[in-house]
Structure 1
Amino acid sequence: MALTLSSWRFSKYEESWEWIQRCLLQSYNQFSETSLKKWDLSVSPEGFFRLKKIFPSGKQEYFSFNISRLKDISFKGSSDSGEIIFTTREDDIIVQTYNDPHGNIDSMSTVFKLPVLGMETQKLDSLRNALLMFKH
């Protein structure tokens, strides 16, 4: 019985991770930035959210945090476009810039805003519930 329950938990966990990854990749609004050259967004099976943005100038921005450190997930905008606002307990979000004419920055933050498109209420609720599964 314990093996079956453990397998079920792993299966649900894996399904949630895959769904979170797919949902964020499909919803991310890369056009909110002025001409991104390239971007990479991922959520690892271990619960790490990562976003790397590369601009035509060569400047790079990198954001990373562990979903287990989330305090709140909120949304600002409409179903057409908006921002998912991730808030962590403390300064748990890594923020780095490279090749920035104003200087490279390594800092920490408690808030990260992800621009999204087509985020219907039901999809947002499902995303929130799947992310909360990683917190436990």
Structure 2
Amino acid sequence: MKKFTLNIKMCLSLMMCLVFMAFSTAMNLDEQTVFIQKMLMEHYDESASPVQIKRYEINVTNTGFCRYKRFFAKGKVEYFSFNLLKFKDLDYYGNDKKGTLLIRTLGDDVIVQTYNDKEGGDIDSMASYMSIPLKNIEAHDLISISERMVKMNALLLAQK
């Protein structure tokens, strides 16, 4: 009887561990997305574009998509999006005061769309990187963003 009770306790303990691990992955994924989006929004440089940008949106979802949308004063809209499963690495060109973050993908995996462009019309294309202007960012922040993207990539692969 003691052996039977011990086996039941072990099975219940194992089941509880599995339940906790299942929920910890989702929370960890949410934590990564919130951190990445917060850092990109905090350090975004609105003054970097030569053409006036009315507003912008940066969105990192827990389903693995990174989206960046720019709305220009003359009505033009540029939209960039990629799946974090295709993330390769980050490059940063500039200094701690001002620079450009290039988020590189494995291939031409960044969707680039242009709307309401009076000069070039609506364009759909693909690119191998997404460029985001940043300001007042330290090296350790860039390292943290890169590490979080790698972790998020691994978590998304584990969910597949």
TM-score by length of 2: 0.80
| Partner SS, residue 90 of structure 1 | coil
Whether 1:87 and 2:84 are equivalent positions in the alignment is no
Which stretch has the larger CA shift, 6-15 or 18-27? 6-15
From 73, 79, 82, the equivalent of 1:56 is 73
TM-superposed CA distance for 1:7, in Å, is 2.5
Whether 1:130 and 2:143 are equivalent positions in the alignment is no
Instruction: Specify which structure has the higher proportion of helix.
Output: 2
Q: Please name the residue that 1:37 is paired with.
A: 54
- Give the distance between the partners of 1:39 and 1:82, measured in 2 at CA: 17
Give the number of aligned pairs: 136
Superposed, 1:72-111 pairs within 5 Å as 72-100=89-117, 101-111=119-129
Q: Please name the residue that 2:12 is paired with.
A: none
RMSD, matched Cα:
1.2
From 20, 23, 29, the equivalent of 2:36 is 20
One-letter amino acid matched to 1:11 = M
Segments of 5+ residues of structure 1 without an aligned counterpart are none
One-letter amino acid matched to 1:23 = M
- Give the distance between the partners of 2:130 and 2:55, measured in 1 at CA: 19
One-letter amino acid matched to 1:71 = K
Segments of 5+ residues of structure 2 without an aligned counterpart are 1-16, 155-160
- Give the distance between the partners of 1:67 and 1:119, measured in 2 at CA: 22
Runs ≥4 residues deviating over 3 A: none
Instruction: Specify which structure has the higher proportion of strand.
Output: 1
CA contact (8 A) 2:89 2:146 kept: no
Q: Please name the residue that 2:130 is paired with.
A: 112
